[in-house]
Structure 1
């Protein structure tokens, strides 16, 4: 079934209209539309299907689209919290069920904790190059990782981005603070990998 869109006309939502009906109404790139599945209205030029059918150009990434430092920080905290919770549960089950020696339990517990940073890197690579383009923490904050043109990043670029975080950390976290000093709010690893973190608004 072809999607239909609610169109904002003179400040009031009207419709739903099919794509052909929108075309007949001479819809403009900046007109606001939404489908029943969408949480909020978007400009017509932001929707891939309408760009393709109506010949709109993909809009440039504007300043208001870039994820802020506090959003990124909170997303990271959420990711750490979720990942730590999962590892604690797994470690608790494994240690109690399969390890009976007290010393071995202690070693196993610390081994699980030591594996968390590596698991987090893999988690970021998989999630940021996926269709969601974001970890669960970023999804909760409605931000995602894209390339410099606003497109989904490849697995290779996700690997590069996350390995480059070593340099952001090695500079005593100054690499993260660089987000305050450039218009696109890029951290050092974003600059090195050619990525952006934007608000989840563009399709």
Structure 2
């Protein structure tokens, strides 16, 4: 009976930013994350094959000298490639590798703050312990003949535990996400329509915002504001309006819904105008615009 009355699991999460704004996010499913990881590995394998051919070409050109040196160079390149690819890509403004971008995913901090370099490094270095180190040990150990059957079984069991770890927690976290304090969320962009501004929102035309006030937030926050307006929950609208007013330093008495309609319309127009000139502000942390 307890299991029957238990609420169904959902991937929707509420993330509260340091400004007190509640953002509704949807976690990436385990299947989607696995697909993104597979796409990234196909990219890495293609680069690795090209690098292997180059090393072989140099090996033959020099006259088959120093084979150990070339083997060490290849191993170092493989280590740097698989670590810095994920770290550098997720440290960028889009916080996503090519595989995540193809499936419209991104990495965010669970505390609602900015995704730090330390968190990105931590979550990706953990992948070495989770997957690469045991599999690399097994591959080279088997080649040298000093890995027995039980060691092989334990190595694959170790990798499998971490590989399927997201299936056994409701937040779909890898061990690296658990340590770094991150989520992988869906980043799908919906078309922003005029239907969000209700009929009584026409009064919002009377409310104006300065360029400095419109420069506070970016596309990510605009999408979250869109979610709040679509749900039309009175408590959420009151809380978000208060947070934005506090952030902008405004003290007007206009209704909260009209204020948000007005700011949404103005912010959307400002971001679209900048986009025409090639300046994209992805979120409130993006200063490149």
RMSD: 3.0
> Is the radius of gyration larger for structure 1 or structure 2?
2
Give the equivalent residue in structure 2 for 1:76. Answer: 37
In the TM superposition, residue 90 of structure 1 has moved relative to its aligned partner by 3.4
Give the equivalent residue in structure 1 for 2:99. Answer: 137
Q: State whether structure 2 residue 112 is matched by structure 1 residue 112.
A: no
Structure whose residues are more often strand by fraction: 1
Specify every segment of 5 or more residues in structure 1 that has no aligned partner in the other structure, as ranges.
Answer: 1-55
Q: Which has the higher contact order (CA 8 A, sep 6+)?
A: 2
- Counterpart pick for 2:51 among 90, 115, 118: 90
Aligned residue for 1:59, secondary structure, equals strand
Specify every segment of 5 or more residues in structure 2 that has no aligned partner in the other structure, as ranges.
Answer: 1-19, 135-157, 190-219, 221-289
**What is the rounded CA distance, in whole Å, between the counterparts of 1:75 and 1:107 in structure 2?**
34
Aligned residues: 146
Q: Which runs of 4+ in 1 moved over 6 A?
A: none
CA contact (8 A) 1:162 1:189 kept: yes
Give the equivalent residue in structure 2 for 1:193. Answer: 180
Give the equivalent residue in structure 2 for 1:165. Answer: 127
Q: State whether structure 2 residue 142 is matched by structure 1 residue 155.
A: no
CA contact (8 A) 1:145 1:196 kept: yes
Between 129-138 and 108-117, report the one with greater CA deviation: 108-117
- Counterpart pick for 1:181 among 168, 186, 208: 168
Change (3 A) 1:108 1:97: closer
Aligned residue for 2:106, secondary structure, equals strand
TM-score with structure 1 length normalisation?
A: 0.60
Post-superposition Cα deviations, 1:97-150, rounded to whole Å, max 9, x if no partner, equal 673323557963674256324311111111111112111111111111111045
